[in-house]
């Protein structure tokens, strides 16, 4: 961890706790700042706030009082989930107080180079795959961000001989100022989180911040198959490393004659790659490129790609029962993710879908549903997904109460050789606290079938 005096004796407000807020508060306190923490959850129900209070950090809980901003803060560290139209954030803006997210602090104190991964889909798989390859290649990686430990906690333990592999959301990237990864990755860009950003353009601009401070000594790995990602690349000062699943490139990562190729060197045959699904090819290409840029030996990459089968809750193979294969894709919280999951299989699919209703229809999902053998729905969006299923010509559509009841129903409707896939196309919050809990319930229900 870099020793810095930037925050010594400065008055700083940490707005919102959760894991990142608590870590930021502790770090700033360690760096000599006068920290005030403000969290909406009452102190009596807030063990994280109680712990900070015991460490001598000022804590204000129960609501977000706008007048708190009047107390002369020099910086606000905002929980990524708090929107920028929050009255306290707006007030900070009126006063010219900088507002950052915790990943900016992580960058400032890190002695290790950062590999930052963002995009609409594939972030977690790509992050995990890079981490596994760098581990096999003895590069001493540490994993951070949305996927693992809070970035500022990891950065405190990292040294010059480590690499920090960090998954970054658009929410986090909106709050960076000087953040500068050695290697930045944009997997792909689609429409997402419009309720937070206000427009697709603002969402894409937030993603573009991953390369905003990079220079010619850094690398930007970017999807050459998308004009929007290439538009960001053209504005970057970093060395551009393109990848493509569709074209043979002059440089970068691509597929040619059944081989994954990087800078015209064959790395591994596609038939030897264990990770299922054509949509995962983007993740594999980016991971190969990033790993080679760090100096990892090719054999380490081959070794990992021949055994890595995926990340929990992301097209995760669960089990086979009486010839039916079960896959947990609970992380598919939007239509596009479910579309991609469905393309991974050439066998009949029983699809389990449904969840939180955000007001959208599922018309875009109809083309992907045409090959689905049966559809089982649950949650708030069940009627809307059923309508899409009927439009796709699915003959068997059944509604159940939840994921746990969907599993035995799917088994009863299936035959040997079928795939039973949980890929909800919706967030989980109508019935489950997180998509992980939803996925765990699916896995548990599969095991009960045995």
What mean pLDDT is predicted for residues 354-371? Answer: 95
Q: How far apart (Å, rounded) are the C-alpha atoms in residues 375 and 394?
A: 7
Q: What is the pLDDT of residues 320-335, one digit of tens each?
A: 999 999 999 999 999 9
Q: Give the pLDDT score at 155.
A: 97
Q: What is the pLDDT of residues 369-379, one digit of tens each?
A: 998 999 999 99
Identify whether 125 is part of a domain.
yes
Mean pLDDT, the chain, integer:
95
Q: Which two tokens stand for residue 204?
A: 């894409």
Q: How far apart (Å, rounded) are the C-alpha atoms in residues 329 and 309?
A: 13
Q: Are 282 and 328 part of one and the same domain?
A: no
Q: Are 230 and 214 part of one and the same domain?
A: yes
Percent over 90 (pLDDT), the chain:
89
Phi, psi of 273 (to 5 degrees): -80, 130
Dihedral Cα 33, 34, 40, 44, nearest 10 deg: 110
- Which helix (DSSP H) or strand (DSSP E) does residue 349 occupy? strand 349-353
Domain extent for 434: 316-449
Q: Give the pLDDT score at 312.
A: 82
CATH of the domain at 336: 3.90.190.20
Q: Are 23 and 72 part of one and the same domain?
A: yes
Q: Is the pLDDT of residue 191 over 90?
A: no
Residue with tokens 């480590």: 162
Of 113-117, 119-123, 167-171, 422-426, which gets the smallest average pLDDT? 119-123
Identify whether 3 is part of a domain.
no
Q: What is the pLDDT of residues 262-315, one digit of tens each?
A: 999 999 999 999 987 777 899 999 999 999 999 999 999 999 999 998 888 888
Identify whether 311 is part of a domain.
no
Identify whether 153 is part of a domain.
yes
Q: Are 270 and 364 part of one and the same domain?
A: no
Q: How far apart (Å, rounded) are the C-alpha atoms in residues 24 and 37?
A: 10
Q: Are 163 and 96 part of one and the same domain?
A: no
Helix axes 47-54, 18-30, angle to 10 degrees: 10
What mean pLDDT is predicted for residues 22-37? Answer: 97
User: Where is the domain boundary, 305, 333, 362?
Assistant: 305
User: Where is the domain boundary, 100, 118, 146?
Assistant: 100
Q: Are 390 and 445 part of one and the same domain?
A: yes
Report residue 194's pLDDT band, with 50, 70 and 90 as the boundaries: confident
CB of 128 closer than 8 Å to CB of 311: yes
Q: Give the pLDDT score at 184.
A: 98
What mean pLDDT is predicted for residues 233-252? Answer: 97
Identify whether 5 is part of a domain.
no
Q: How far apart (Å, rounded) are the C-alpha atoms in residues 418 and 351?
A: 11
Of 130-139, 236-245, 340-349, 406-415, which gets the smallest average pLDDT? 340-349
Count of alpha carbons within 13 angstroms of residue 328, beta-carbon side = 25
Q: Are 112 and 236 part of one and the same domain?
A: yes
CATH of the domain at 76: 3.40.50.720
Q: Is the pLDDT of residue 366 over 90?
A: yes
Q: Where are the beta strands (DSSP E) in 108-211?
A: 114-118, 141-145, 163-167, 183-186
Q: Is the pLDDT of residue 157 over 90?
A: yes
Q: Is the pLDDT of residue 340 over 90?
A: no
Identify whether 145 is part of a domain.
yes
Q: Which two tokens stand for residue 5?
A: 């005096």
Q: Are 95 and 108 part of one and the same domain?
A: no
Q: Are 181 and 293 part of one and the same domain?
A: yes
Helices within 358-427 (DSSP H only): 366-369, 382-391, 403-413
User: Where is the domain boundary, 258, 277, 305?
Assistant: 305
- Which helix (DSSP H) or strand (DSSP E) does residue 222 occupy? strand 219-223
Q: Which residues of 345-365 are buried (b: 16+ CB within 10 A; e: fewer)?
A: beebbbbbbbbbeeeeebebb
Rounded (5°) CA angle 317-323-326: 25
Q: Give the pLDDT score at 450.
A: 82
Q: Give the pLDDT score at 371.
A: 87
Report residue 147's pLDDT band, with 50, 70 and 90 as the boundaries: confident
Q: What is the pLDDT of residues 162-174, one digit of tens each?
A: 999 999 999 999 9
Q: What is the pLDDT of residues 390-446, one digit of tens each?
A: 999 999 999 999 999 999 999 999 999 999 999 999 999 999 999 999 999 999 999
Identify whether 115 is part of a domain.
yes
Q: Which two tokens stand for residue 396?
A: 């068997």
Instruction: Find the radius of gyration of the CA atoms of the chain.
Output: 23
Q: How far apart (Å, rounded) are the C-alpha atoms in residues 361 and 45?
A: 37
Q: Are 265 and 131 part of one and the same domain?
A: yes
- Among residues 186, 176, 175, the alpha carbon closest in space to that of 224 is found at 186
Q: Are 160 and 242 part of one and the same domain?
A: yes
Helices within 97-159 (DSSP H only): 102-109, 123-136, 151-157
Q: How far apart (Å, rounded) are the C-alpha atoms in residues 37 and 399?
A: 45
Report residue 385's pLDDT band, with 50, 70 and 90 as the boundaries: very high
- How many CB atoms sit inside 10 A of residue 406's CB? 27
Q: How many domains does the chain divide into?
A: 3
Q: Give the pLDDT score at 415.
A: 96
Identify whether 310 is part of a domain.
no
CATH of the domain at 295: 3.40.1190.10
Q: Are 152 and 263 part of one and the same domain?
A: yes
Q: Give the pLDDT score at 422.
A: 98
Which residues does 45 contact at the CB level (< 8 Å), separation at least 6? Answer: none
3-class state of residue 168 by DSSP: coil
Q: How far apart (Å, rounded) are the C-alpha atoms in residues 223 and 241?
A: 9
- Among residues 81, 229, 118, the alpha carbon closest in space to that of 64 is found at 81
């Amino acid at each position: 961890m870099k020793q810095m005096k930037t925050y010594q004796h400065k008055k700083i407000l940490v707005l919102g706790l959760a894991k990142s807020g608590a870590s930021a508060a502790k770090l700033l306190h360690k760096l000599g700042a006068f920290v005030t923490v403000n969290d909406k959850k009452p102190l009596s129900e807030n063990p994280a706030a109680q712990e900070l209070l015991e460490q001598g950090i000022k804590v204000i809980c129960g609501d977000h009082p706008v007048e708190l901003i009047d107390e002369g803060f020099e910086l606000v560290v905002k929980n990524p989930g708090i929107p920028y139209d929050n009255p306290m954030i707006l007030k900070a803006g009126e006063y010219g107080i900088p507002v950052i997210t915790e990943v900016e602090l992580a960058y400032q104190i890190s002695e290790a180079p950062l590999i930052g991964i963002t995009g609409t889909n594939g972030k977690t798989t790509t992050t995990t795959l890079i981490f596994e390859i760098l581990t096999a290649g003895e590069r001493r990686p540490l994993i951070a961000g949305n996927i693992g430990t809070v970035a500022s906690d990891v950065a405190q333990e990292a040294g010059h001989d480590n690499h920090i592999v960090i998954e970054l959301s658009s929410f986090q990237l909106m709050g960076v100022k000087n953040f500068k990864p050695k290697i930045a990755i944009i997997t792909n860009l689609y429409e997402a989180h419009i309720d937070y950003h206000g427009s697709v353009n603002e969402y894409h601009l937030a993603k573009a911040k991953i390369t905003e401070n990079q220079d010619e000594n850094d690398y930007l790995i970017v999807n050459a198959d998308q004009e929007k990602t290439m538009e960001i690349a053209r504005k970057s000062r970093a060395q551009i490393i393109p990848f493509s699943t569709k074209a043979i490139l002059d440089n970068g990562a691509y597929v040619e004659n059944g081989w994954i190729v990087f800078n015209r060197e064959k790395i591994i045959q596609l038939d030897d790659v264990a990770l299922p699904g054509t949509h995962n090819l983007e993740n594999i290409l980016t991971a190969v490129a990033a790993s080679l840029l760090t100096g990892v030996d090719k054999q380490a990459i081959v070794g990992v790609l021949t055994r890595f089968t995926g990340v929990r809750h992301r097209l995760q193979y669960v089990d086979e029962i009486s010839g039916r294969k079960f896959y947990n894709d609970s992380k598919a919280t939007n239509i596009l993710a479910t579309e991609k999951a469905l393309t991974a299989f050439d066998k009949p699919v029983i699809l389990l879908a449904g969840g939180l209703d955000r007001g959208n229809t599922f018309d875009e999902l109809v083309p992907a549903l045409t090959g689905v053998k049966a559809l089982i729905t649950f949650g708030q969006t069940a009627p809307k997904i059923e309508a899409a299923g009927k439009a796709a010509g699915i003959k068997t559509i059944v509604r159940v109460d939840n994921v746990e009841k969907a599993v035995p129903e799917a088994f009863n409707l299936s035959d040997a050789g079928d795939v039973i896939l949980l890929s909800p196309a919706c967030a989980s919050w109508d019935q489950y606290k997180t998509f992980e809990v939803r996925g765990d319930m699916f896995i548990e229900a599969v095991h009960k079938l045995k």
